[in-house]
Structure 1
Amino acid sequence: MSAHGHHPGSADDRLGKVYDAEMFRRLWAYVRPHRTLVFVSFVIIFVLGAAQLVQPYLIRIAIDDHIGTRNSDGLGILALWFGLALLGEFLLRWLQIYVLERTGQNVVYDLRTDAFAHLQRLPSSFFDRNPVGRLMTRVTSDVEAIHEVFTSGLVMILADLVKVIGIVVILLAMDWRLALVTFAVIPPIIFVTLQFRGRMRSAYRTVRGAIARLNAFLQENVTGMRIVQMFGRENESAEAFAEINAEHREAQLKAVVYESSFTSLAELVAAVALAVLLWAGGYGILAGMVTFGTLVAFIEYSAKFFRPVQELSQRYTVMQAAMAAAERIFGLLDTEVSIKSSDGAIPVPEKLAGDIRFENVTFGYDDERPVLKDVSFHIRPGERIGVVGWTGSGKTTLIRLLVRLYDVQQGRILLDGVDIRKYRLRDLRRSIGIVLQDPFLFAGSVGGNISLGDPTIGPDRVKAAARAVQVDRFIETLPAGYDERIRERGSNLSVGEKQLLTFARAVAFDPGILVLDEATASVDPRTEQKIQLALATLLSDRTSILIAHRLATVRDADRILVLHQGELREQGTHEELLVLENGIYRTLYALQATA
């Protein structure tokens, strides 16, 4: 468990400046499939703008041509048109909200689907560097921020722009002198916007980084809550969380300061402009240069003109938060899928012989410390191989390389005489069944956890796999049998029950090669006995690799490989290794026998 969620120099803090134009270009790729909805929204913008802008003009006509002259002829028709304009505005605004929400949700769906699909293709080294909570933030709240671009960001800015242009044309046509007084607000607003633009983007980038660190810390500590409680670390965890939470609070407050300053200045400029307009308009009426209806219409139009200007701060805040989120999402999508099927990759043979050869393999999780050093060995088809060694000797790393969770840095691995990098990655991984020490089950049904949703594995095959590992009787005692719901990570099952289900999963996929990585280390003797009986069936006519700390597990292996500090030091049968003077295997065996 980490004590702090923030690490200087992390990927979040090294985000460079990415121009808005590039973000919009990439977002457009997700908008393009829904361009019909976008077109409809643009049509609505223009029609809605017309319905809104005609209202003050109708008021001007009513005052100057009817109320001011005490002429009621046509006033009722004018009122009817005004009412229709209001009704049209209401209906069009509802339709606009619906279309924008639908467009935004479609884009969010596509973007989130792509982000998750890309995550699944990334190599294990990526997940070594990035906390789960941070990645959850990318796929959830960061993507959701993009939705705001459509509901209250870019599209609404365009709608406001159409409205402002319409008002400019109408005001100039009505009285160009009063229009110039109204337009005097534009240069100060542009100046204020330019002053706050960079600061607000930076502030919201910091906020989203703080949210990601909060999520990462929460995910880690909720997952490890039993450890926290058993070791009495609640206070320390609370203090660490408070520190990260304080970072988020300070980042949010800084963003609020910029936002509120921007909003206040924009409103101040608009208020001053309106006061000047009233003074100039009143003077114009007294001088006989402006009619009262024109001034009322000007005030109405000015309110409609200033409102988008005042809301520009909110729109701009949304856009800055969305652009900061877009940087992070596209940063994830741009992460290279370094382990993938090569061009012209070939399928793994349907009848895999299971011949495995490591040739001078060197690998390290970082460049400075190799975990495996020039390792070479050959496993013949159908051979049962044990792999032993001290903790950290590289046993599990062998398997991670075999299924290409990582790629070798030097040397090569051959499967049936072909470099594994030439096989289709999906085929390669399906041909190797792995049962780990820590069984992992998904929330879902028992049967679904055995088949993992593979359409080629039907109910009969699931039941046959369960019988093969003798877990069928346990499943049949469950109230819903194979449809019984399993909670997250299998929390409603014992370790042994979970392990037997993962064995059934491996059998159901019928792999050509079977790997057991400390698979019986966490189970009770009775469960282990069931597993050992099942192994006799599982391992027949199948190449198998058994990684073990307990040497009794590999005693009957055809051959045992002994790793030490990343090197293959010894290999042979149990009896051959025991007679090696000062041998590592002999030392391990003696220690376990004494224990």
Structure 2
Amino acid sequence: MKPIKIKSTSLKKVLRFAKPYKKRYISVILFAILLSLFAALRPYLLKQTVDSYVSTGNKEGLLHYILLMGFVLFCEVASQFYFVYWANWLGQDIVKDIREKLFSHISAFKMKFYDSEPVGKLVTRTVFDIESIAKIFSQGLFMIISDLFKMVVVLGFMFYMNWKLTLIVLLAMPILLYAIRVFQLKMKGAFQEVRTQVANLNTFVQERLTGMKIVQLFNREDIEYEKFKVINKKHNKAWLRNILYNSIFFPIADTISSITLGFIIWYGGLNIINGDNITSFGDLFAYTMLISMLFNPLRQIADKFNELQMGIIASDRVLELLEIEEFVQTQGTKQAKHFKGEITFKDVRFGYIPEEEVIKGINLNVKAGETIAIVGATGAGKSTIINLLNRFYEIDSGSIMVDGTNINQFQLNSLRKQIAIVLQDVFLFADSILNNITLNNPNITRKDVIQAAKDIGVNDFIMSLPNGYDYNVKERGVMLSSGQRQLIAFLRAYVSNPSILILDEATSSVDTYSEELIQTATEKITQGRTSIVIAHRLATIVNADKIIVMDKGLIVEEGTHQQLIDRETGYYKNLYDSQFAVEAGE
């Protein structure tokens, strides 16, 4: 694999997030410098102790220097504590800021983005990759700076004490530096492969766990297990490659360090035996510690550099996501207050994929307070109309207006506050019923929810559950039936007091009892507001003020139920007759 260089621009972008913590950043650097000074001072004091007091038998001076060494050791330990703690503290605060910014960023994306991006990949970016960014500060950058400071200070002390022995140490440095460089390049590619395989594994597991019912229903357990084994094997292989490089490098680095120390002992020992004044016993004691202090940071720099690389690789992925501009256009400045509810689609065209139109130039007018129903075969474009009205997607051409104002002119949040949707597939969070209804909106009180539940006839159902409104429905509302989830969705829509209500196949796939409650709720919440009902079961929309019939992205018929049923060869009549025949068992 061709080695990839670290992008300095990526590191600079990450460091911008450290600006709010400038004082802490500087403090970490200061403690790194102090740590280096105190660490290198101990071997020097040891040399002085051996040469000046141990060899001369000066007990008083020996005790003085031992106490001095103890004080220096205390300062070194204190500096190391503050350095490590503050570096990790800084890293976690930066990660917190990045994660919040990323979550806010992706929350504003168009639905089109989520149509093509795996959820598992986004989870990996938001959780695992961002956590790796913390290592840039806690395990990478600051550790490298600290080690570099320590090496410079140690070399300074070594030259000051004995420059000839220091030259022997320097002869071994190029070999170790070369080994570090090779190791760093190999590890860069290994880390990239690891991150890729982690994302693939997360995506696969997330999708299968979410769709476990389908997996089991179609007896796909063994097939999915075999697929998982393949992906897991690739993940395992990527990590083994990482482990292999570590297993090769660190023994080589330790061997170089030990051989260098052996040469120092041999050369210095010969000088002492021969009676030369080039070295002393204090030098040998000190160099035993100093070589370790010089080579270990150098060896660890390679390891810390790998942590830095992993963090930068992760930051590249996160920053790439932060640079995506898949936002719904929000240039609108008008505050959407309570709508009368008149909706107009004028020559609207749209396609999820370029050159493949789903909505083909439709014109539609809904009067304020009117209840209209939209019917048609699957893929006719019914739900797409709802998506466009809520601006989940941007139309390709034409215009959509509410009360005579183009929806693009409204502030997006204020527009959506005036529109409530009850979907066929109700999504509930792993939380209480109350929080699933209010969605933690502080303006909606518990009293408001209970009164609304009584108004639409679902209070008795909720109170029949353990803990009533505080009942935890678990992930995706698995503790409730589909009909019960629909009732919660109706209540959620009702308490938001929308100007426009949309029911998207909201009465399909529910039991008879729930359907009766839903019908009662529907009658209540549609009163006095514009309502759009997308229905599969035509019997539920016979009382609509107007029925819109769609086919292949076009409006082919519209009128009341009776008007449409009177058309002998009409699309709606054929649809109604065929559905009625099926329900009658003919």
2:506 corresponds to which residue?
A: 519
Paired position in structure 1 for 2:296: 307
Give the match for residue 455 of structure 1.
442
Q: What does the per-residue CA deviation read over 1:75-134, in whole Å, with 9 as the maximum and x for residues that have no partner?
A: 110111112222222233223222222212211211111111112111111111111111
Partner of 1:10: none
Contact 1:364 1:370 in 2 (8 A): yes
Q: Structure 2: state its 5+ residue gaps.
A: none
Tell me, in whole angstroms, the C-alpha distance in 1 between the residues paired with 2:365 and 2:245: 65
Q: Which residue of 1 aligns with 2:68?
A: 81
Q: Is the 8 A contact 1:133 1:216 kept in 2?
A: yes
**Structure 1 residue 341 corresponds to structure 2 residue 330:** yes
CA distance, structure 2, for counterparts of residue 52 and residue 334 of structure 1: 43
1:60 is matched with 47
Name the structure 1 match of 2:518. Answer: 531
Instruction: State the distance in 2 between where 1:196 and 1:298 align.
Output: 27
1:64 positional shift? 1.2
TM-score, normalization by structure 1 = 0.93
Asked whether 1:573 is paired with 2:564, we answer no
Instruction: Name the SS of the counterpart of 1:408 in structure 2.
Output: coil
Instruction: Report whether the alignment pairs 1:420 with 2:407.
Output: yes
Matched, 1:329 2:318: yes
Residue number among 17, 38, 48 corresponding to 1:30 in the alignment = 17
Residue 247 of structure 1: how far off its partner (Å): 1.3
Instruction: Give me the whole-angstrom Cα distance separating, in 2, the residues matched to 1:328 and 1:193.
Output: 26
Cα deviation digits, residues 471-526 of structure 1 (max 9, x gap): 11112223322222221111111111111111000010011000000000021122
- Which residue of structure 2 lines up, in the alignment, with residue 403 of structure 1? 390
User: Deviation digits for residues 342-400 of structure 1, max 9, x if unmatched?
Assistant: 1x52111x231111111111111111422111122111111111101111111111101
Query: Secondary structure of 2:395's match?
Result: coil
C-alpha separation between the residues in 1 aligned to 2:384 and 2:109? 18
What is the CA-CA distance between 1:215 and the residue it aligns to?
1.1
The answer for the alignment partner of 1:8 in structure 2 is: none
Is the CA contact 2:38–2:76 (under 8 Å) kept in the aligned structure 1?
Answer: yes
- Pair 1:583 & 2:573 matched: no
Specify the code of the residue in structure 2 equivalent to 1:334: E
Judge which range, 266-275 or 408-417, deviates more. Answer: 266-275
User: What is the correspondence of 1:532-551 to structure 2 with a 5 Å cutoff?
Assistant: 532-551=519-538
Shift of 1:553: 1.7
CA distance in 2, matches of 1:449, 1:82: 63
Q: What residue number does 1:9 align with?
A: none
Distance across 1 between alignment mates of 2:172 and 2:572: 84
Kept in 1, the 8 Å contact 2:4–2:189? The answer is no
Contact 1:360/1:410, CA 8 A, preserved across alignment = yes
Q: 1:354, 1:415 within 8 Å by CA — same for their partners in 2?
A: yes
2-side partners of 1:565 and 1:187: how far apart?
72
Partner of residue 477, structure 1:
464
After TM superposition, the score normalised by the length of structure 2 is 0.95
Question: Distance between the aligned counterparts of 1:580 and 1:271, measured in 2?
Answer: 96
Distance 1:126 1:263 in 2: 44
Q: What pairs up with 1:118-517 in 2 under 5 angstroms? A: 118-285=105-272, 286=274, 287-342=276-331, 345-348=333-336, 350-517=337-504
Deviations 1:438-486 (A, max 9, x none): 1111111211111111111112221122123211111222332222222
The runs of 5 or more residues in structure 1 that have no matched partner are 1-15
**Pair 17,370 (structure 1): closer, same or farther in 2 beyond 3 Å:** farther
Contact 1:263 1:314 (C-alpha < 8 Å) held by counterparts: no
Conserved 8 A contact 1:266-1:309? no
1:79-118 aligned at under 5 Å gives the runs 79-118=66-105
Q: CA, structure 1 residues 47+470, in 2 after alignment: closer, same or farther (shift >3 Å)?
A: same
Q: CA deviation digits over 1:242-290, x for unaligned, max 9?
A: 1111111111122223333343443343333333333333344334322
Matches of 1:494 and 1:66 in 2, distance apart?
A: 85
Cα distance in structure 2, aligned partners of 1:18 and 1:401: 44
For residues 24 and 207 of structure 1, what CA distance do their matches in structure 2 show?
Answer: 20
User: What is the identity, as a one-letter code, of the residue corresponding to 1:184?
Assistant: L
The structural deviation recorded for 1:66 is 1.8
In structure 2, what residue type is equivalent to 1:345? Answer: T
Report the Cα distance in structure 1 between the residues aligned to 2:8 and 2:214, rounded to whole angstroms: 48
Shift of 1:17: 6.9
> Which residue identity does 1:305 align to in structure 2?
L
CA-to-aligned-CA distance 1:278-336 (integer Å, 9 cap, x gap): 33333443343222212321221111001101212321221111111111111111111
Greater shift, 50-59 or 260-269, is seen at: 260-269
Structure 2 residue matching 1:444: 3-state secondary structure:
coil
Task: Give a deviation string over 1:170-199, Cα, whole Å, max 9, x none.
Answer: 111122222122123333333334334443
Matches within 5 A, 1:37-48: 37-48=24-35
1:518-557 superposed Cα distances (whole Å, 9 cap, x missing partner)? 0000211222122222222211221110001111122111
Paired letter, 1:323? I
Distance in 2 (CA, whole Å) between partners of 1:500 and 1:345 is 35
Equivalent residue pairs, number: 578
Call closer, same or farther: CA 1:71–1:18 in 2, change over 3 Å: closer
**Percent of aligned pairs with the same amino acid:** 36
Taking the aligned partners of 2:181 and 2:83, their CA distance within structure 1 comes to 30
1:121-157 Cα deviation digits (max 9, x unpaired): 1111111111111111111111111122222211111
Amino acid paired to 1:69: T
Aligned amino acid, residue 277 of structure 2? G
Amino acid at match of 1:289: I
C-alpha contact 1:379 1:385 (8 A) present in aligned 2: yes
Contact 1:203 1:255 in 2 (8 A): yes
Q: Partner letter of residue 562 of structure 2?
A: E
Opposite residue 447 of structure 2, the aligned amino acid is D
1: distance between equivalents of 2:509 and 2:299? 64
Deviations 1:51-75 (A, max 9, x none): 2111111111111112223333411
